[in-house]
Amino acid sequence: MNRTAIRKFYNICLTTLVAVYFLIFVGGVVRSSGSGMGCPDWPTCFGSWIPPTSVSELPADYKETYTLYRQKKNEKFARYLGYIGLDEIGQRIVNDPDVRIESDFNVVKTWTEYINRLVGVVIGLLIIGMFLRALPLYGQSPEITIIAGLTLILVIIQGWFGSIVVSSNLTHWTITVHMLLAIVMVLMIVYLLHISNPKEDNTVQTSKITLGLLIGSGLTLLLQTLLGTEIRGSIDELYQSAIGRNDWIANLGLDFVIHRSFSWVVLLIHIGFWYKIRKTKQLKSSALALILIILGAVMSGAGMAYFNVPSFLQPVHLLLATLAFGIQYMMYLRLKVDKEVVKII
């Protein structure tokens, strides 16, 4: 096997993974600052590749123009949904009057969203580079080339779906899907890192209980993340309402209570996994990083609850959760149940 080519591929995968995490953080900033509709069209921003800096640069009827633009795009998307039996969801987007509300131009929000898109372009270029690096490896490891190709397809789908998030005026479920696709992308890149690792053998023998705790921690974190997206949607609605930030938590209802209480379940399962794996030399650093990240996520969540949802904590909370997914999956790929193990580690 060409070790030089493998190492170069591994390095670009690692760079891409870091960049994707940075994009997730930037996306969190966009959402927490209410900048998601800073550019009402896609891939351009107000019809230009470089967005305006003043409302005077826009036509007087820009709101009507982009409302019509988004409506046509939503009608097209609704037809696609109809083809796969989701006609009701599509019609809900088309007929929802809130979707047709156009935001006032705000230069800060416009440029925040524009920077988010520029980072997305860099991610796309990195994944193209990753795929090109994978092509010469097909003869040695077809799996690397195929997964890299699927990652490229996924980033194209993610870019297109980002346009749907905008055209639907940040409809909650589209944001959730957009985030889940980003997590899938992280997991695919982590898998590529695993199978292209220059080390000959990086597997670690373990027990069924330890592996089960890791799987359980991943599933509970996924459920907690989905609960969090529902709360984030409720916060978006409160952001648009006349309710003051000081009263947001009080108006979140049962979803928030469940999310807050379930965080203890997530934390306890992760502590249990860390306790089991803490003496395993090859993974003790990863396990420690994972438990610290989960603690950070819990603390940032508590900070939002007790300090009226400060904007700067929201992207941190999201980033920590996605970092945890990546570390969990990396550890899952390395762990292998040893049937001959008598003593549970």
Q: What is the pLDDT of residues 81-117, one digit of tens each?
A: 999 999 999 999 999 998 998 989 999 999 999 999 9
C-alpha closest to that of 99 among 171, 162, 37, 40? 171
Task: Give dist(CA 333, CA 324) in Å, integer.
Answer: 14
Q: Highest mean pLDDT range out of 3-12, 202-211, 238-247, 319-328?
A: 319-328
Please tell me the predicted confidence (pLDDT) of residue 240. Answer: 75
Please tell me the predicted confidence (pLDDT) of residue 341. Answer: 46
C-beta of residue 226 within 8 angstroms of C-beta of residue 176: yes
Lowest mean pLDDT across 69-83, 257-271, 292-306, 331-345: 331-345
Helix axes 172-195, 313-334, angle to 10 degrees: 40
What pTM was computed for the model?
0.91
DSSP assignments along 184-226, one per residue: HHHHHHHHHHHHT-SSS---EEE-HHHHHHHHHHHHHHHHHHH
C-alpha 235: how far from its chain's center? 18
pLDDT, tens digit (0-9, with 9 covering 90-100), for 306-315: 888 888 899 9
Indicate the burial class of 309 (C-beta count within 10 angstroms; 0-12, 13-18, 19 or more): buried
Rg value, the chain, Cα:
22
C-alpha 40: how far from its chain's center? 21
Structure tokens at 238: 């409160």
Q: Where along the chain do its domains lie?
A: 1-200, 201-345
Please tell me the predicted confidence (pLDDT) of residue 229. Answer: 87
Write the DSSP symbol of residue 45: B
Write the DSSP symbol of residue 164: H
Task: Give dist(CA 26, CA 154) in Å, integer.
Answer: 19
For 259-296, b/e burial (b = at least 16 CB within 10 A) is bbeebeebbebbebbbebbeebeebeebbeebbebbeb
Residue 78: pLDDT band (50, 70, 90) is very high
C-alpha closest to that of 37 among 110, 93, 99? 110
- pLDDT of 193 strictly over 80: yes
Task: Give dist(CA 35, CA 26) in Å, integer.
Answer: 11
Mean pLDDT of 173-185: 94
Contacts of 82 (CB under 8 A, 6+ apart): 90
Torsion sign over Cα 169, 172, 174, 177: positive
Task: Give dist(CA 143, CA 147) in Å, integer.
Answer: 6
pLDDT, tens digit (0-9, with 9 covering 90-100), for 230-272: 888 888 788 777 788 888 888 888 888 999 999 999 999 999 9
Residue 3: pLDDT band (50, 70, 90) is confident
Please tell me the predicted confidence (pLDDT) of residue 338. Answer: 67
- pLDDT of 62 strictly over 50: yes
Beta strand segments in the chain, E: 204-206, 335-337
> What distance, in Å, lies between the first and last C-alpha atoms of the chain?
34
C-alpha closest to that of 170 among 317, 286, 59, 39? 39
Residue 103 has a CB neighbour count (10 Å cut-off) of: 18
